[in-house]
C-alpha cells in the first residue's frame, strides 16, 4: 500500500512509492523479491534521510513479537522490529537484562543497533555491541544468518550496517542477570570541575549523562545511574563536585514537565526503569526539534567541550540542550566508537532550520581537530569524503555491501552519498 510517511521530527517526508507492514518473514521475502529498491523504517527517530527510499518501505512492527531466551548461552533472539519498551519487561520477568539501553526506550532494537545508538557508561559499549547474531532477508529474498561466533570479523562489519546489507528480521542479544538501579540528579556542576575532573565524573556511576544549555559556566544537570548489586538503595550524596542533589524530579530540559522521566531521587527500581531517561509508559510523539551528535576519542573530550563552549553566543538562539555521554570502544566497523573509548556530544536544536543549517558547519569546523564522527542518524553537514576517512574499515564495509547487495537493492541516496 502507498501512504504518506515522515520521520519523528517531521523534517523528513519519506519518498517511498509503497509502504508495507508485513506480518511474517515470508511476507518480507516476497516484498524484497519483487522490489527494485527497499528500505526498512523503525520508530522514525532519525533526523536525515538514512531510512528513506524511492521504492518500497517496510515497517516490521506488525510482525510477531517473539522472544526466545537461551539461558545456557545467556542470549535472547527477538524479532528485530521490537522496541525496547516491548522487549525489556519480558526479559526482566524472566530474570534477565540488557547491559545498556538508549535514553529513549521507544526506539526499535534494529534501528538502534544498525546505527550504533548508544546510551552511556564508561564500561558500556553502544547497543550494537550486545548483538551476537542476525537473521537477514537478502536481495533475492533468501534468508541468511550471521553470528559473532561463526563469522568473526565479517560479523563486525554486518552489525552497524545502516540498512545497507538486507532486511534484518531477527536479532540475537547478549543478556546479563536482571539487576536493580537507582539514579540521582545533581544541579549546577561548575564547568571548571568538569574540565578538571572529567574522568572521575563520568566514571562515578554505571551510567552518567551531563546536560547543559551553556548559558552559564556550569552543567545544568548531572544524571548518575548507580548499579545496586544487592537491590538495596544507597544513600545519596548531597553534593557532587560542587553540584547539589536535586530534591525534585527533573526533565533534562529544566522548563519541561518531568512526568515522562524515569524515577530519580535515589529510588531503587529495575534496570529498564532507570537506564533510560524516559520511562516505558511515556509516549513517543512527534518532536518539534532537530538533533545533531558528534563522537570524539575520550582523550579529546575536554578540549572538544571547551571548543563547544566557545560557540555558545552563536548557538544560544536555537539550542535547546546539549547532552554529554561516554561509551567504551568496540570493533564494529561503522560504529562511532570503533577503535577508541568515546564521548558523545549531543545537540537538541529548536526546529529552526534556517538558523541551525548555517551553524552546523561552524560546529563541525570547531570539532574537526578531534576527528569527530557524526551520528549516522542525525543531522550533519560533513562531506562524504570526510565521513569515509573517519572509519578505518570503510573500504572493507564497501566490499561487504557489494557482496551482500551487488545490484544495490538496499542502496538509497544516503548510502550512495556517504558509503559510496
Best CA proximity match to 8, nearest among 288, 216, 412: 288
pLDDT above 60 (res 319): yes
What are 332-346's pLDDT values in tens digits?
A: 999 999 999 999 999
Instruction: Count CB neighbours of 156 within 10 A.
Output: 23
pTM of the model: 0.95
Give every CB contact of residue 371 below 8 A, 6+ residues apart in sequence: 296, 297, 300, 390
Query: How big is the chain by its Cα radius of gyration, in Å?
Result: 21
Residue 204 pLDDT level (bands cut at 50, 70, 90): very high
Rounded CA-CA distance 69/353 in Å is: 45
Mean of pLDDT values over 77-85? 93
Rounded CA-CA distance 64/44 in Å is: 20
Reported in sequence order, the residue ranges of 229-315 that DSSP labels E, i.e. its strands, are 239-240, 243-245, 269-270, 289-297
What are 94-118's pLDDT values in tens digits?
A: 999 999 999 888 899 999 999 999 9
Rounded CA-CA distance 322/252 in Å is: 10
- Give the three cell numbers for residue 183: 539514579
The predicted pLDDT at position 332 comes to 98
pLDDT above 90 (res 47): no
Instruction: Count CB neighbours of 141 within 10 A.
Output: 17
Beta bridge partners, 348, equal: 291, 321
What are 281-290's pLDDT values in tens digits?
A: 877 555 678 9
Best CA proximity match to 341, nearest among 198, 183, 195, 155: 198
- Give the three cell numbers for residue 54: 524511492
Give every CB contact of residue 26 below 8 A, 6+ residues apart in sequence: none
The predicted pLDDT at position 2 comes to 41
Instruction: Count CB neighbours of 416 within 10 A.
Output: 11
Mean pLDDT taken over the chain:
93
Please tell me the least confidently modeled range out of 45-59, 210-224, 232-246.
Answer: 45-59
pLDDT above 70 (res 50): yes
- In this structure, are residues 79 and 65 in contact, taking their beta carbons and an 8 Å threshold? yes
Residue 4 pLDDT level (bands cut at 50, 70, 90): low
Give every CB contact of residue 82 below 8 A, 6+ residues apart in sequence: 65, 67, 108, 109
Best CA proximity match to 17, nearest among 4, 7, 8, 29: 4
Residue 5 pLDDT level (bands cut at 50, 70, 90): confident
- Give the three cell numbers for residue 246: 536535586
The predicted pLDDT at position 284 comes to 58
8-state DSSP, 313: H
Give every CB contact of residue 3 below 8 A, 6+ residues apart in sequence: 19
The DSSP code sequence of 30-92 is HHHHH-SSEEEE-S---SSSTT--SSEEEEGGGS---EEEETTTTEEEEETT-BHHHHHHHHH
H-run or E-run covering 186: strand 180-190
Count of helix runs (H) and strand runs (E) in the chain: 12, 20
Beta bridge partners, 323, equal: 211, 346
pLDDT above 60 (res 9): yes
pLDDT above 60 (res 3): no
What are 155-191's pLDDT values in tens digits?
A: 999 999 999 999 999 999 999 999 999 999 999 999 9
Best CA proximity match to 387, nearest among 320, 314, 311, 336: 336
Please tell me the least confidently modeled range out of 271-285, 325-339, 365-379.
Answer: 271-285
Mean of pLDDT values over 203-225? 97
- In this structure, are residues 74 and 33 in contact, taking their beta carbons and an 8 Å threshold? no
| Beta-strand relationship, 239-240 and 167-174 | unpaired
pLDDT above 60 (res 6): yes
- Give the three cell numbers for residue 68: 526466545
Q: List helix spans (H) across 102-245.
A: 109-114, 148-159, 191-196, 198-202
Amino acid at each position: 500500500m502507498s501512504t504518506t510517511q515522515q520521520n519523528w521530527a517531521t523534517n523528513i517526508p519519506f519518498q517511498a512509492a509503497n509502504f508495507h507492514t508485513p506480518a511474517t518473514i515470508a511476507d518480507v521475502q516476497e516484498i524484497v523479491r519483487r522490489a527494485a529498491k527497499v528500505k526498512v523504517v523503525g520508530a522514525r527517530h532519525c533526523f536525515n534521510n538514512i531510512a528513506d527510499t524511492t521504492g518500497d518501505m517496510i515497517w516490521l512492527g506488525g510482525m510477531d513479537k517473539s522472544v526466545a531466551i537461551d539461558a545456557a548461552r545467556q542470549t535472547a533472539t527477538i524479532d528485530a522490529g521490537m522496541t525496547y519498551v516491548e522487549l525489556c519487561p519480558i526479559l526482566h520477568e524472566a530474570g534477565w537484562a540488557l547491559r545498556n539501553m538508549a535514553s529513549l526506550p521507544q526506539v526499535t532494537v534494529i534501528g538502534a543497533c544498525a546505527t550504533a545508538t548508544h546510551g552511556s557508561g564508561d564500561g558500556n559499549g553502544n547497543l550494537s555491541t550486545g548483538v551476537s547474531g542476525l537473521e537477514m532477508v537478502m536481495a533475492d529474498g533468501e534468508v541468511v544468518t550471521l553470528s559473532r561466533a561463526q563469522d568473526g570479523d565479517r560479523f563486525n562489519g554486518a552489525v552497524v550496517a545502516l540498512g545497507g546489507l538486507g532486511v534484518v528480521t531477527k536479532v540475537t542479544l547478549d543478556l546479563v542477570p536482571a539487576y536493580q538501579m537507582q539514579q540521582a540528579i545533581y544541579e549546577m556542576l561548575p564547568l571548571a570541575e568538569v574540565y578538571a575532573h572529567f574522568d572521575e565524573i563520568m566514571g562515578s556511576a554505571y551510567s552518567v549523562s551531563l546536560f547543559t544549555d551553556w548559558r552559564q559556566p556550569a552543567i545544568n544537570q548531572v544524571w548518575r545511574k548507580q548499579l545496586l548489586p544487592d537491590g538495596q538503595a544507597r544513600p545519596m550524596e548531597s553534593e557532587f563536585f560542587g553540584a547539589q542533589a536535586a530534591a525534585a524530579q527533573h526533565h533534562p530540559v529544566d522548563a519541561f514537565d518531568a512526568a515522562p522521566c524515569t524515577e530519580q531521587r535515589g529510588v531503587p527500581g529495575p534496570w529498564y526503569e532507570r537506564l533510560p531517561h524516559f520511562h516505558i509508559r511515556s509516549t513517543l510523539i512527534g518532536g518539534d526539534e532537530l538533533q545533531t551528535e558528534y563522537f570524539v576519542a575520550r582523550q579529546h573530550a575536554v578540549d572538544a567541550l571547551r571548543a563547544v563552549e566557545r560557540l555558545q553566543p552563536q548557538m544560544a538562539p536555537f539550542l535547546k540542550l546539549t547532552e554529554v555521554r561516554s561509551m567504551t570502544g568496540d570493533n564494529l566497523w561503522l560504529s562511532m566508537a570503533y577503535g577508541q573509548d568515546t564521548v558523545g556530544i549531543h545537540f537538541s536544536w529548536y526546529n529552526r532550520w534556517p538558523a541551525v543549517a548555517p551553524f552546523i558547519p561552524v560546529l563541525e569546523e570547531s570539532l574537526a581537530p578531534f576527528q569527530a564522527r557524526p551520528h549516522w542518524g542525525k543531522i550533519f553537514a560533513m562531506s562524504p569524503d570526510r565521513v569515509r576517512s573517519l572509519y578505518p574499515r570503510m573500504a572493507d564495509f564497501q566490499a561487504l555491501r557489494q557482496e551482500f547487495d551487488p545490484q544495490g537493492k538496499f542502496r538509497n541516496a544516503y548510502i550512495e552519498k556517504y558509503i559510496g
